[in-house]
Chain A
Amino acid sequence: MNYVETRLAKLARTGDRRAFAELVDLYKDKMYHLAYRMLGQSHEAEDIVQETFLRVYTNLDRYDVNQKFSTWIYRIATNLCIDRLRKRKPNYSLDAEMPEGEGADWYSLLASDQPSPESEVMLSETQEHIRRAIDSLPDKYKSVVILRYLQDLSLQEIGDVLDMPVTTVKTRVHRGREFLRKKLESEYGGKVFETK
């Protein structure tokens, strides 16, 4: 395999910082977008991107040049995001219903006093619904859905990144898609679908 990234990685391994900076430029947006969607927060996403590149840098010797560089870096970033999600899980769940809530959950609280993570990008009402639906995906579907739809990875590549058989990836894409559909239908009474 003679990918540009692989050549850059080999150069970076010998101590060439300019080569590494090129790798950063090639991948920072993809990694940022991935982390942003996984965590729903720009600050944490930046943290994850920094940590990802630091790990790539210190583990360059362990990078197998027969493997696609993208698979390797996606794996590192995805694992970091999943770890981060796992760690903050016990603290609070956005899906948990309020004690005396009539269908109200933590979102309704957050919406008022906390700026939306996408405050820098104005989202349409529909997009805001989608964002919340993605946020509420169970972790194991979330990573698959994000890699599939937002990073355009093939099922095979996702299998390589997440270390799971393609059949499992496929099942999770299907369940994730189903989850999103039901969420959008039940929460917004199908009005999201009517706009299209």
Chain B
Amino acid sequence: MDCKQAVREMHEFLDGTLTGPKAAALKEHMLSCPDCRLVFQQLETTDALVKSMPRPSAPDDLTDRIMGALPQSRKKASWLQWVKRHPAISVASVFLLVMVSSFLSLWNEDTQMTVKGANLDQLVIKGDTVYLPAGHKVNGDLMVKRGKIQVDGELNGNLIVIDGTYALASTAKISGETRVIDQALQWLWFEMNEMVGGLAK
């Protein structure tokens, strides 16, 4: 064993990772080499001295200061972190919320009667009631919002009544289906379908 290797093994020994035979070989070398003996003694003392350094403890009021410096609520922080971690979902849900609430407020504010259809000249409107008199004929869909409709004539399409009522006379002929929409959400669904349908066209 040369001195260079001996120094390496000394460190292993001080780490506590030098096994039996190797430790014996190191000891043998040191017995015959005063320089290595000195180095080893110095290393061992260095270890002991460093380990014996006093361990100052933190000031007594440090815990209070640390706790006082913490942000107020962790609950809020974790909620914010969720938002930060899912930006797409967060933006989408805010967007949806705004959409739905604007639709709902429209639903509640809009009290005027609306009539939509192809041949509006065939209709008679009196107050809040729309009449499709007998002998008159409407081609295409007819939609009445927030009003009553009395059908005596012929409708060549669907009849859609939103937030209102309808009455059919015995002479009435409706080739399509009749739908009544009176829930805000149903209406929302209908509007969205209209929108998508409009875009598709």
Residues of A within 8 A of B (CB): 12-15, 17, 20-21, 24-25, 28-29, 31-33, 36-37, 42, 46, 49-50, 53-54, 57-58, 60-61, 118, 120-121, 123, 126-127, 130-131, 134, 145, 149-150, 155, 170, 173-174, 177-178, 180-181, 184-185, 190, 192-193, 196
Does A20 contact B70, Cβ atoms closer than 8 Å?
yes
Closest beta carbon of chain B to A28's beta carbon, Å: 4
Asked if B19 is at the interface (CB within 8 A of a chain A CB), the reply is no
- Report the nearest A residue to B74, measured CB to CB: A15
Residues on A with C-beta less than 8 A from B75 are 15
Among the listed A12, A25, A150, which residue makes an inter-chain contact with B63, where contact means beta carbons less than 8 Å apart? Answer: A25
Asked if B58 is at the interface (CB within 8 A of a chain A CB), the reply is yes
Among the listed B67, B77, B78, which residue makes an inter-chain contact with A24, where contact means beta carbons less than 8 Å apart? Answer: B67
> Ordered nearest first, which 10 A-B pairs have the shortest CB separation?
A32-B58, A174-B11, A15-B74, A28-B58, A29-B57, A149-B50, A53-B66, A181-B46, A181-B42, A121-B54
19 contacts between A and B (CB under 8 A): A12-B74, A24-B66, A24-B67, A28-B63, A33-B55, A46-B62, A49-B62, A57-B70, A58-B71, A121-B56, A130-B49, A130-B50, A145-B50, A149-B51, A177-B46, A184-B42, A193-B41, A193-B42, A193-B45
Does A21 contact B63, Cβ atoms closer than 8 Å?
yes
- Report the nearest A residue to B51, measured CB to CB: A149
- Report the nearest B residue to A60, measured CB to CB: B74
Residues of B within 8 A of A (CB): 7-8, 11, 14-15, 39, 41-43, 45-59, 62-63, 65-67, 69-71, 73-75, 77-78, 81
Does B56 contact A49, Cβ atoms closer than 8 Å?
no
Closest beta carbon of chain B to A49's beta carbon, Å: 6
Does A184 contact B78, Cβ atoms closer than 8 Å?
no
CA distance A150 to B70 in the complex (A): 28
Q: What DSSP secondary structure best describes chain B's contact surface?
A: helix
| A15-B73, A57-B71, A127-B53 known; A29-B78 Cβ under 8 A | no
Residues on A with C-beta less than 8 A from B69 are 50, 54
Does A58 contact B43, Cβ atoms closer than 8 Å?
no
Closest beta carbon of chain A to B113's beta carbon, Å: 54
Does A120 contact B56, Cβ atoms closer than 8 Å?
yes
Residues on A with C-beta less than 8 A from B71 are 57-58
Among the listed A61, A118, A126, A177, which residue makes an inter-chain contact with B43, where contact means beta carbons less than 8 Å apart? Answer: A177
- Report the nearest B residue to A149, measured CB to CB: B50
Does B50 contact A192, Cβ atoms closer than 8 Å?
no
CA distance A193 to B47 in the complex (A): 11
